[in-house]
Amino acid sequence: MAANPQTALSGLARALIQKERLSEADAIACTTGDATTNAFLHEVTQRKLLSARAIAQFASETFGYPLFDIAAVSQEYLPQSVIDANLARKHQVVALAQRSNPNRLTLAVADPSNMRVFDEIRFQTGMQLELVIAEVDKLAKLAEQLGTSTKESLEKLSMDGELGALDVALEDDTEEAGSSDIDDAPIVKFIQKMLIDAINDGASDIHFEPYEKFYRIRIRTDGILHEVAQPPLALKEKIAARIKVISRLDISEKRVPQDGRTKLVLSKSKSIDFRVSTLPTLHGEKIVMRILDSSSAMLGVDALGYEPEQKQALLEAVSRPYGMILVTGPTGSGKTVSLYTCLNILNKAGVNISTAEDPAEINLAGINQVNVNEKAGLTFASALRSFLRQDPDVIMVGEIRDLETAEISIKAAQTGHLVLSTLHTNDAPTTLERLKNMGVAPFNIASSVIMITAQRLARRLCSCKKPINIPIESLLQAGFRGDELDGGWQLYGPGGCDRCKGSGYKGRVGIYQVMPISEEIARIIMTGGNSMDIAAQAEAEGISDLRHSGLLKVRQGVTSLEEVLAATNE
């Protein structure tokens, strides 16, 4: 026999010959000269001299390594980033598990005699290897899937949808982002596609979340989080760095939370702002991008879901020259949109409007917006004091958090200014009691507050809604009055279609309790009455609480009973 082909045989091939599992002639014939790792084994299986299963069993018994079924592996839990993708594909090896103490890597291989390959991987990873044996055909298939380069994967993702001429733009046009090493086209296109898809789906937030064994992207649509993508775990650093670059954040700082903003330019006249928040977690930086669409403030009162009498009461309060209007509700209940809608109504050439926010979520031309910065000493209270020296007509305070801010706001409302603000309370009556508990004198509350609006958001039924029947006892228990169950209306529940992606809901509608401060309610405040006394008087004046406002939306077929019960379950 010629010396050269025999010398080229691997340790596994020679072992197969020695154990008479393969003839020397067949082994040399299968040595094609292809330098690719495992080429010999593939040739053996293709010639049907031995099966991949038989080779794996022989290698396990001969070299003393465990036999592992690679087909049982879930790709998303593999530590894909530990070995370079091209290296893993070239040598047809798969990293199965990684341990930091001791620093070891479990590696699935078909030929455990190829020490040159293992030396290269040890050098690249700096880790000691623990080998397991896998069938060569299954291993090659998995290594090829995992070895598809990051660039190819992202280019496919980014080109699935038509991006047109859309572009992510910084608030300040600089060359910093363009010159960054992070600014490679596939990552840019991928993130841009995520943002555009989220906007098209009507999302309010996008979550980029790293975990130990996978990385996921979720969007919040109509108040519900949905997973939309699972990029390769190896990309978590690049994705985070790119988002931080376009948001003007420090990409080298990963130990503390950061807040920033960026903008997606859709056309010359249309752009979407994003508020960006980073949070260091155990497995990397979680990033949440809040979508701030200024067009939401231009919808008008009619689109928000106010009933006619509620809308009329709100417009009358907004048209008052002075006083305080408070909007209450939990986080995510639409308070900001309601306030901006009121500001948009007031935003006229002859009106000076100033806002103090943390931070300003929607940019409105013609309104002087200030971001509070407590670290720098710019608090709500200090901003309010400055506003009063700026000849304001309308003042908006993002939130009344303390007695100082409350007292300055009330002083402004008593001295000829219209003040709008928010509080985190459950309903309108408890808002007045909350102010009193903060230390505001009852007289000041009664003489300054002119209206309180409590609100919640419920999902709208899609056009695919379907009629349902619920026992009368259950309807009465939910809060319907007996005279309302006259059979003159139909109850609807969610259906499911392509438009709503099977959820049965599309968009959200507001549920409101709009309570003007009447003379009788003001008297109850002045005489030390509590929230229950105020609620009883409001009901006597025909003001619907949140539950009954929601039930009216159910009767109108706008939303489902289930949604109203969930939104108003105090």
Is the model's pLDDT at 178 over the cut of 50? no
Does pLDDT of 7 surpass 70? Answer: no
Question: Which pLDDT belongs to residue 11?
Answer: 84
Element (H, E) at 229: strand 224-229
Mean pLDDT to the nearest integer, 359-369: 84
- Find the mean pLDDT for residues 304-331: 91
- What pLDDT score does 179 carry? 40
pLDDT of residue 148: 54
pLDDT given for residue 550 in this prediction? 92
d(CA 105, CA 91): 16
Express each pLDDT in 536-546 by its tens digit. Answer: 999 999 999 99
- 219 pLDDT above the threshold of 60: yes
pLDDT at residue 476 greater than cutoff 80: yes
The predicted model scores a pTM of: 0.64
Q: Report whether pLDDT(421) > 90.
A: yes
Mean pLDDT of 355-374: 85
Report the pLDDT value the prediction gives residue 353, as an integer from 0 to 100. 93
Q: Is the predicted pLDDT of residue 335 greater than 80, yes or no? A: yes
**pLDDT tens across 498-522, in order?**
788 788 898 889 999 999 999 999 9
> What confidence category does residue 160 fall into, taking pLDDT thresholds of 50, 70 and 90?
very low
- Residue 237: closest CA among 184, 274, 275, 176: 184
* Beta carbons within 8 Å of 76's beta carbon, 6+ residues apart: 213, 214, 230
* pLDDT score of 201 more than 60: yes
How would you classify the pairing of strands 394-397 and 418-423? parallel
Out of 266-270, 355-359, 382-386, least confident range: 266-270
Winning range, highest mean pLDDT, from 221-230, 327-336, 354-363, 515-524: 515-524
What is the rounded CA–CA span in Å between residue 426 and residue 158? Answer: 44
What per-residue confidence (pLDDT) applies to 503? 84
**Least confident segment among 36-45, 71-80, 106-115, 376-385:** 71-80
Residue 116 reports pLDDT greater than 60: yes
pLDDT tier at 299 (50, 70, 90 boundaries)? low
Decide if pLDDT at 293 tops 50. Answer: yes
Range of weakest confidence among 111-125, 140-154, 298-312, 422-436:
140-154
Residue 479, by phi and psi: left (phi above 0), alpha (psi -120 to 50) or beta? left
Mean pLDDT of 101-127: 82
Instruction: Please report the pLDDT score of residue 9 as a whole number.
Output: 76
Q: What is the mean pLDDT of residues 355-369?
A: 85
- Among 184-188, 223-227, 373-377, the range scoring the smallest mean pLDDT is 184-188
Rounded percentage of the chain residues whose pLDDT exceeds 90: 34
**Region 349-364 average pLDDT:** 86
Say yes or no to pLDDT of 33 above 80: no
Residue 92 pLDDT more than 60?
Answer: yes
pLDDT band of residue 441 (cuts 50, 70, 90) is very high
Per-residue pLDDT averaged across 251-261, rounded? 90
What local confidence, expressed as pLDDT, does residue 282 receive?
94
Output 119 or 239, whichever has higher pLDDT: 239
Q: Mean pLDDT, the chain, as a whole number?
A: 84
Q: Which residues of 507-529 are buried (b: 16+ CB within 10 A; e: fewer)?
A: ebbbbbbbbbbeeebbebbeeeb
3-class SS of residue 451: strand
Average pLDDT over residues 463-478: 90
Look at residue 164 and tell me whether its pLDDT is greater than 50: no
Residues with Cβ within 8 Å of residue 388, at least 6 apart in sequence: 408, 412, 417
Query: In the prediction, which pLDDT does 304 show?
Result: 84
pLDDT, average across residues 97-102 = 71
Residue carrying the six token digits 């009455």: 529
In this prediction, residue 182 carries a pLDDT of 43
Edge-to-edge strand ranges of the sheet holding 128-133: 94-99, 104-109, 128-133
Beta bridge partners of 205: 220, 290
On the question of pLDDT at 77 being above 60, the answer is yes
Exposed, middle or buried by CB within 10 Å (0-12, 13-18, 19+), for 304?
Answer: buried
